[in-house]
Structure 1
Amino acid sequence: MLSSKTVELTEQVKQFFREKLARLQKFPSLGVRNVEVVVDRVKRKGRNTSDATVEVITEVKGRRFAFKEIGANLYQAFFRVYSKVEEKFRREDGERKRR
C-alpha cells in the first residue's frame, strides 16, 4: 500500500516502488506481509528547501518493523530506506537458517 500526506505520487513513482518492493519476496522464509509505504515532504529548519521522507512498515512472521529515512528527493529517501529494509531482512533470514 502506498500513501502520501503532502506529495502527489505519480503512477510512474508508484510503479517504481512496487517493482522495488517486489524484490523483498526473495526472502520467502520470512513470510513478508503487509508492506506499507508512507511518503511525505518535510521542511528542514534553517533551509529554504524541503526534503522527502519515506517510511516502510512491514510485518514479518507476526513481528512489525518500521523504517524511516530522509533524503534530498523522493528517490534518495526511498533507496536509503530500502537498503535498511533489505539489510534487516538478510539478518532475519540468516538467523532463521542458522536455527
Structure 2
Amino acid sequence: MEFAESAVDEGYSLSRAAIRAAQTRLRPIVMTSLAFIAGVLPLAIATGAGANSRVAIGTGIIGGTLTATLLAVFFVPLFFVLVKRLFTRQRPSQE
C-alpha cells in the first residue's frame, strides 16, 4: 500500500487514496495472475498417465491464485483504510 501512503501524503483522503492505489495496481496484479494461471493451465487440463494428480494440483493452484487476486484487489485496500483509521484514532489518546 505504498501508493496509498504516498497519496495520503499528497493530501488525498484515506478512502480516496486507497481507491487510487487500487486502481493503479489493478492491471499489474491481474496481468501477473493471468500469466501465472496460463502457465499452470496445462496441469489443470492434463491427460494421460498420472493426470489425476496433475489436474488436482493445477485446479488447486488456479483456484488459490484467483482467490489471492481477489483478496489483493478488494480486501487489501479495505484493510488499509480500516487499520489506518484505527491507529490514527488511537494515537492521540496514547500521548
**Range into which the TM-score falls when normalised by the shorter chain:** 0.3 to 0.5
TM-score, structure 2 as length reference: 0.37
TM-score, structure 1 as length reference: 0.35
Structure with bigger RCO (C-alpha 8 Å, 6+ apart): 2
Task: Flag the structure with higher strand content.
Answer: 1
